[in-house]
């Protein structure tokens, strides 16, 4: 396993992070424990969760696992997020000092720890002044409740504004951004990656396999069925089958990944993950495996690197197409506004 600095901080994390959105939903507690055990056995040390994952159950499962694994608990770098609704009240949402204070304390309680290594703002909050959010985060660092903070699903101007205000006010500065990033979703390269590099933020890509598209599980013009993300919900957000199936670029990218995987004797997932892990500014790639077999296959991506020729081919066939995440119809900010009734 390769290890890298968490952004410009001094903390070291594995190049592949274990995402735990499935914990408490698609993976019950024993299955979640198995994924955690296998991941740490591979040399991983970075766990990513959020308070809204399974309505807090993901954090609770991780907390109980940490209590039974003292050696792993000592090595684990824990990241969680706050921002989205965890109750029905008007202050049970957002990035206000009031909500974040409650959200952070609740996350610490569910995780059973006194300190969270990386606390991430799950999305931008246009209602709350950014100064209020940043001052809270600076206070949380000073109080020892968090080590660092970062953002998720922010666009370039939001990253730049937050980073510059933190610098100007003398607040602790952010260290990471968690965006969607994969061979099918490269719009962040248009300006977000540059904004992160300018601010010194490391990237923590989520959905590096494009919701399963880059594993080869979906076939052209065949509506997915069964126990896959799109089989369960073919209209799922930016991964919607009909929209992606209709794009020639989708199948050109998948075809290139498949040919490279076949030639190298590895899985398509490993090729896609190796490409993402090698991108500029990437600190750690978040794996969302549903079972131990998927996790083992994903982690094997850490054992090889793509050649310059392979990388160049993938870069060319997957060139960014403006209008996708996070700016287009299915962009994260548009979806969040709909979820919150316009807030």
* Residue 178: CATH number of its domain: 3.20.20.100
Whether the Cβ atoms of residue 224 and residue 230 lie closer than 8 Å to each other: yes
Identify the domain containing residue 96 by its residue range: 3-339
Q: Are 158 and 124 in contact (CB under 8 A)?
A: yes
46: β partners: 77
Phi-psi region at 287: left, alpha or beta (left = phi > 0; alpha = psi -120 to 50): beta
For residue 201, the 8-state DSSP code is P
Q: Known catalytic residues?
A: 53
Condensed to tens digits (0 to 9), the pLDDT of residues 237-270 reads: 556 667 667 678 999 999 999 999 999 999 999 9
Q: Which of 42-51, 132-141, 242-251 has the lowest mean pLDDT?
A: 242-251
What letter does residue 178 receive in the DSSP assignment?
E
Q: Which residue has the higher pLDDT, 142 or 234?
A: 142
Please give the sequence-ordered ranges of beta strands (E in DSSP) within 200-330, or none if there are none: 202-203, 285-287
- What's the rounded mean pLDDT across residues 87-91? 94
Q: Which residues pair with 206 in a beta bridge?
A: 180
The rounded percent of the chain whose pLDDT value lies above 90 is 82
Q: Which two tokens stand for residue 236?
A: 């799922």
More confident residue, 116 or 225: 116
Give the pLDDT score at 218. Answer: 84
Burial of 225 (C-beta count, 10 Å sphere; 0-12/13-18/19+): exposed
Strands 46-48 and 77-82: parallel
What's the structural domain count of the chain? 1
Between vectors from CA 107 to CA 135 and to CA 54, what angle results, nearest 5°? 125
Strand partners, 176: 150, 202
CB-CB contact of 140 with 104 (8 Å): yes
Per-residue pLDDT tens for 4-15?
A: 999 999 999 999
**328-339 average pLDDT score:** 53
- Residue 338 — pLDDT band, cuts 50, 70, 90? very low
Query: Residue 339: which pLDDT band, with cuts at 50, 70 and 90?
Result: very low
| Residue with the two structure tokens 């396993």 | 1
**8 A C-beta contact, residue 190 and residue 322:** yes
């Amino acid at each position: 396993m390769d290890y890298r600095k968490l952004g410009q901080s001094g903390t070291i994390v594995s190049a592949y992070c274990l995402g735990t959105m499935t914990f408490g939903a698609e993976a019950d507690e024993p299955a979640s424990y198995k994924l955690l055990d296998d991941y740490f056995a591979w040399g991983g040390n970075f766990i990513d969760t959020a308070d809204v994952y399974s309505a807090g159950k993901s954090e609770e499962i991780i907390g109980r696992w940490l209590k039974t694994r003292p050696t792993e608990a000592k090595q684990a770098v824990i990241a969680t997020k706050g921002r989205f609704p965890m109750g029905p009240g008007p202050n049970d949402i957002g990035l206000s000092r009031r909500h974040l204070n409650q959200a952070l304390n609740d996350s610490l309680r569910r995780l059973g720890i006194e300190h969270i290594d990386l606390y991430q703002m799950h999305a931008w909050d246009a209602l709350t002044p950014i100064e209020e959010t940043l001052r809270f985060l600076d206070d949380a660092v000073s109080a020892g409740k968090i080590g660092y903070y970062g953002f998720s699903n922010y666009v370039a101007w939001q990253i730049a504004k937050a980073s510059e205000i933190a610098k100007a006010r003398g607040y602790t500065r952010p260290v990471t951004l968690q965006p969607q990033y994969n061979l099918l979703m490269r719009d962040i390269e248009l300006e977000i990656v540059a904004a992160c590099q300018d601010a010194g933020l490391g990237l923590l890509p989520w959905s590096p396999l494009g919701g399963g598209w880059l594993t080869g599980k979906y076939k052209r013009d065949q509506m997915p069925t069964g126990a896959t993300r799109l089989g369960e919900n073919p209209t799922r957000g930016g991964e919607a089958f009909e929209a992606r199936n209709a794009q020639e670029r989708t199948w050109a990218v998948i075809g290139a990944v498949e040919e490279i995987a076949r030639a190298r004797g590895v899985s398509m997932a490993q090729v896609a993950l190796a490409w993402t892990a090698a991108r500029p500014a990437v600190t750690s790639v978040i794996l969302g495996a549903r079972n131990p077999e998927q996790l083992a296959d994903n982690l094997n991506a850490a054992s090889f690197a793509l050649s310059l020729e392979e990388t160049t081919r993938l870069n060319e066939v997957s060139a960014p197409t403006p209008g996708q995440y996070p700016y287009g119809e299915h962009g994260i900010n548009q979806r969040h506004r709909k979820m919150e009734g316009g807030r």
